[in-house]
Amino acid sequence: MLYPLFAPLASIKGLGPRLAKLAEKLVGPHVVGLLWHLPSGVIDRRFAPKIAEAPSGQVATLTVRVDGHAPPVLSGRPYKVRCTDETGVLDLVFFRVKGDYLTRLLPIGQTVVVSGKVEHFHDQPQISHPDHIGPAEARGDLETVEPVYPLTAGLPPKTLRRAIRSALDLAPELPEWQDPAWLAARRWPAWRAALETVHAPEDDTMLGPATPERQRLAFDELLANQLALALVRQHQRRLAGRALAGDGRLRRPVRAALPFALTAAQEQALREINADMAEPRRMLRLLQGDVGSGKTVVALLAMLSAIEAGTQAALMAPTEILARQHLETLSSLAAPAGLRIALLTGRDKGKGRTETLARLAAGEIDLLVGTHAIFQEEVAFRDLGLAVIDEQHRFGVHQRLLLSAKGRATDVLVMTATPIPRTLTLTAYGDMEVSRLTERPPGRKPVDTRTIALDRLDEVIGGVARKIAEGARVYWVCPLVEESEVVDLAAATERQALLKARLGERVGLIHGRMKGADKDRVMAAFAEGGLDVLVATTVIEVGVHVPAASVMVVEHAERFGLAQLHQLRGRIGRGAAASTCLLLYEGPLGEVARSRLRILRDTEDGFLIAEEDLRLRGAGEVLGTRQSGLPGFRLADLAEHAELLEAARDDARLITERDPDLKTDRGQALRSLLYLFERDAAVRYLRSG
Ligand code: ADP
Ligand code: MG
């Protein structure tokens, strides 16, 4: 039944390949995306005054007689068509339109209906480029209320509106998947009816997130999300797990040698993780902690428990550089335990790699640190007990499952460095256990954060020069222009050249297109003090630990997500020196942009920053959904529908308890819901039947 909705956009009449491509930018590749493209405004064309009564600035639909055509005398001037009714004269004004087209459309002497915004030019009423022109008989069709959709350049509004109408006609009535009592209590309409209504708003009040129809659709989407996560989770629970409990023989010497005492939050997280691992089921736990909150040592101690219990452990990082950094940190922290640690990344090839794989399979490696390369099929552990994923939102649920499939009953600990708000945690991980590191290790100095207009670049460079003279090391982050890496790179190279001219030769550059080995070399030079300034194009690569770096400059800070800026800033303030972060912005800033930068200036509490960002910008924007790996929502607005998200979570939990394989009638209907929202991957985890 849903098949036509998953046809390519170009299958819709009126959307040729070119327009379909444009529409795809807005709604995605399938017809179903058109259904989810909700109107952002309404135009009421029912207002049908006489010419003399049509107020300026308002949309009106007028019935008029065409009196004459006045082609432009000079090029660049408009073509005017003069119309009248018994009360006055109205000019229809066209720029760059062929006259013969207009004489056919608006023959002299004919009565026509025109609709558009009326304006007065030297007291003369006119409509430039009417939205609609039709014969007098079409009056009824034109005097309607019309939804206005968010557009993209080149896609005519009328085309998009018609395409959405066609998609609606393809949407079938579907068996109800929501609980009837819940629907009744909320007074929500059925799915099909809700769709029709949201696409036919009568006035502005019907556009808000609180109408029953919008709530219903938002809840559908949220339920699909939560149910899919719950099913994956249930699948994981059904797999055999095992109890992993160490005897402390490795942890004791490692703890004794730590140069610091663990914070209460770290101890608490470890208690939770150890208790979870000791249970005879699979652990799937999130360790959430702000940048610098000390997740690494927690992960290490958890992995040591697993190794004490006779299994292997793996830690996976999102990038090569981070994997190497982890290897270094873990090797030094774990030295007293005499662990056998190895590294596996995409860069390892040939003999070394073969050897690592053989030792891994033989159980001669206790702890493997690596990148995505760990997912590869040939990588086999003798017995993987715990997998830790330092994910920074870059691995999806599916990959997490892949990794846990590498072991017999592997426990999984996911570490996220970005403090995502609770609501977002729920959408990304569902009802997953969470340990939070809410306090920072002692001894960190606050970072002095300032916002400065970009036109004071000269002064900034001067300030940086003084800091360098005092021995500081400086990160210089260049603007991120997502569309084009080439442009990013050009900007960064240019910046490096300018800084070299002003600050001397010790200015390095690191960017996403560099080869791994080159990146490492530059990074190492910066860490060891061979470079004073590191110009960087990508955020991720800066995710390393250089305690001596105490200054960060971010150009076009207004273009970054707040969470990203917070992450970046977390790279400084790690050493003994007082640190400074300069956020350069290009003015004038809008109200929201100004507030966002202010938050960053005023606090270093990542959770607070994330909550505020969510409030100011809405969920889709917070982390840059695409790169964050968080699900994007089309119908739900997490800032507005947070309460619905919790309800969806509860509902999903109830469903999986009562009807774990979606076999009841409602269960069958819920399967369509999952398909509809393209969460059908979760259906695979149901027991067949
Ligand atoms: P993140 O949570 O960002 O991964 P890290 O694990 O890299 O943070 O820790 C940041 C720094 O804090 C490291 O240098 C680490 O050695 C140090 N650290 C971790 N725990 C403590 C602690 N309890 N007391 C003092 N320093 C700590
Ligand atoms: Mg870390």
Substitution site in 260, 322, 439, 546 for ligand 1 pocket (most atoms within 8 Å of beta carbon): 260
Between 392 and 265, the more confident residue is: 265
Q: Where are the alpha helices (DSSP H) in 536-641?
A: 562-569, 591-602, 606-617, 619-622, 625-628
Task: Specify the pLDDT at position 633.
Answer: 84
Give the residue-averaged pLDDT of 31-48: 94
The pLDDT tens digits for 99-109 are: 788 999 999 99
Q: How far apart are CA 669 and CA 304, in angstroms?
A: 46
CA-CA distance, 361 to 348, in Å (whole number)? 17
Among protein residues, the one whose CA lies closest to atom 13 of ligand 1: 294
Least confidently predicted of 88-97, 293-302, 453-462, 610-619: 610-619
Residue-level pLDDT at 376:
80
Q: Check pLDDT > 70 for residue 407.
A: no
pTM, whole model, 2 decimals? 0.68
Segment 51-58 shows an average pLDDT of 94
How do residues 645-655 score in pLDDT, each as one tens digit?
A: 989 999 999 99
Residue 92 Cα to ligand 1 midpoint, Å, equals 69
CA of 313 to the centre of ligand 2 (A): 17
**Residue with more model confidence, 96 or 181:** 181
Nearest CA to ligand 1 atom 23: 262
State in Å: Cα 291 to ligand 1 middle: 9
Ligand nearest to the backbone CA of 298: 1
The amino acid that residue 524 corresponds to is A
Q: How much is the pLDDT for 325?
A: 87
Confidence (pLDDT) at 124: 93
pLDDT at 627: 40
Q: How far apart are the first and last CA of the chain?
A: 20
Atom of ligand 1 nearest to the CA of 290: 2
Nearest to residue 502, comparing CAs of 536, 463, 454, 557? 463
Q: Which helix (H) or strand (E) holds 126?
A: strand 124-128
Kindly tell me if the per-residue pLDDT of 393 is higher than 80. Answer: no
Atom number, ligand 1, closest to the C-alpha of residue 293: 2
Read off the pLDDT band of 512 (50, 70, 90): confident
Which residues, at least 6 apart from 46, have a Cβ–Cβ distance to it below 8 Å?
61, 143, 144, 145
Q: Which atom of ligand 1 is nearest to the CA of 545?
A: 7
Pick the residue with more confidence: 681 or 199?
A: 199
Q: pLDDT of 295-348, one tens digit each?
A: 999 999 999 999 999 999 999 988 888 898 899 999 999 999 999 999 999 888
Q: What is the mean pLDDT of residues 6-17?
A: 92
- Which pLDDT score, from 0 to 100, does residue 623 have? 41
pLDDT at 200: 95
Nearest CA to ligand 1 atom 12: 294
Residue 57: pLDDT band (50, 70, 90) is very high
Q: Helical H runs in 335-387?
A: 350-361
Contacts of 465 (CB under 8 A, 6+ apart): 502, 503
Query: DSSP letters of 427-485?
Result: HHHSS-EEEEE-SPPTTPPPEEEEEEEGGGHHHHHHHHHHHHHTT-EEEEEPP--TT-H
Closest ligand 1 atom to Cα of 329? 16
**For residue 274, pLDDT beyond 90:** yes
**Averaged confidence pLDDT in the chain:** 88
Neighbour-count burial of 472, counting CB atoms closer than 10 A to its CB (0-12 exposed, 13-18 middle, 19+ buried): buried
pLDDT of 406: 66
Work out the pLDDT band at 689, boundaries 50, 70, 90. Answer: very low
Reported as a pLDDT band with limits 50, 70 and 90, residue 97 is: confident
- Going from the Cα of 343 to the center of ligand 1, the distance in angstroms, rounded, reads 21
> Ligand 1 centroid vs 424 CA: distance in angstroms?
25
Q: Does domain 447-603 have CATH number 3.40.50.300?
A: yes
Residue owning the nearest CA to atom 1 of ligand 1: 292
Which SS3 state, helix, strand or coil, does residue 515 take? coil
Residue nearest ligand 1's atom 26 by CA: 441
How far does residue 574's CA lie from ligand 2's centre (Å)?
A: 13
Q: What is the pLDDT averaged over residues 155-164?
A: 93
* Probe residue for ligand 1, chosen from 254, 297, 331, 571 as the CB with the greatest number of ligand atoms within 8 Å: 297
Which residue's CA is the nearest one to ligand 1's atom 9? 294
Task: Give the pLDDT mean for 20-25.
Answer: 92
In sequence order, what are the beta bridge partners of 492? none
**Class level of CATH domain 43-148:** mainly beta
Averaged pLDDT for residues 563-567: 81
Report, as an integer, the average pLDDT of 219-238: 87
| Least confident window among 66-80, 484-498, 608-622, 669-683 | 608-622
Distances from the Cα of 346 to the Cα of 137, 320, 398, 404, angstroms? 69, 8, 20, 20
- The answer to whether domain 43-148 and domain 251-437 are alike in fold is no
Range with the poorest average pLDDT among 23-37, 299-313, 420-434: 420-434
Sign of CA dihedral 394, 396, 399, 401: positive
Residues 436-451: what's their mean pLDDT?
86
- Number of the ligand 1 atom closest to the C-alpha atom of 262: 23
In the 3-class helix/strand/coil scheme, how is 589-605 assigned residue by residue?
CCHHHHHHHHHHHHCCC
Task: Give yes or no for a contact between 151 and 145, defined as CB atoms under 8 angstroms apart.
Answer: no
Residue 626 has pLDDT above 50, yes or no: no
Confidence band (pLDDT; 50, 70, 90) for 607? confident
**Residue of the CA atom closest to atom 21 of ligand 1:** 441
DSSP 86: T
Task: Report domain extents, the chain.
Answer: 43-148, 251-437, 447-603
Task: Determine what percent of the chain is predicted with pLDDT higher than 70.
Answer: 91
Give the pLDDT band (50/70/90) at residue 486.
Answer: low
Q: Which atom of ligand 1 is nearest to the CA of 263?
A: 23
Expressed in angstroms and rounded, the spacing between residue 371 Cα and the centre of ligand 1 is 21
Look at residue 169 and tell me whether its pLDDT is greater than 80.
yes
Mean pLDDT across the stretch 205-217?
A: 94
Least confident of 343-357, 511-525, 590-604, 620-634: 620-634
- CATH class of residue range 251-437: alpha beta
The residues with which 434 forms a beta bridge, in sequence order, are 286
Q: Is the model's pLDDT at 628 over the cut of 50?
A: no
625 — pLDDT class (breaks 50, 70, 90): very low
Using CA atoms, how far residue 565 sits from 121, 371, 580, in Å, is 49, 24, 14
| Ligand 1 atom with least separation from CA of 443 | 25
pLDDT reported for residue 401: 56
Lowest model confidence (mean pLDDT) among 42-51, 410-419, 517-526: 410-419
Q: Are strands 124-128 and 111-121 parallel, antiparallel or unpaired?
A: antiparallel
Distance (angstroms) between ligand 1 centre and the Cα of 479 equals 28
Residues near ligand 1 with C-beta < 6 Å? 260, 262-263, 266, 289, 291-297, 417, 441, 545
